[in-house]
Amino acid sequence: MLSCKEATLLMSQEQDRRLGMGERIALRLHVLICAGCNNYRRQMHVLREACRRLGGGGTP
């Protein structure tokens, strides 16, 4: 089982590279049982989308 520190590191890395199958499964399982990491992942998604829209990469 991943620790929260390991999970957040993988969430950050998945922005730059495709995670391996084992990493994706471990991260998905961790996020399913950890509300804090689930919230963190959702916040990262919101920030990524906001930056994409401000940068002209999406529609407002």
pLDDT single digits (tens) 6-54: 999 999 999 889 999 999 999 999 999 999 999 999 999 999 899 888 8
As a whole number of angstroms, the distance between CA 31 and CA 13 comes to 15
- pLDDT above 70: residue 59: no
Structure tokens at 28: 């998905």
Mapping DSSP to helix (H, G, I), strand (E, B) and coil, where does residue 4 land?
Answer: helix
pTM: 0.79
Question: Can you give the residue ranges of every domain in the chain?
Answer: 4-54
pLDDT at residue 52, as a whole number: 86
- In this structure, the number of other CB atoms found within 10 A of the CB of residue 55 comes to 8
pLDDT at residue 57, as a whole number: 59
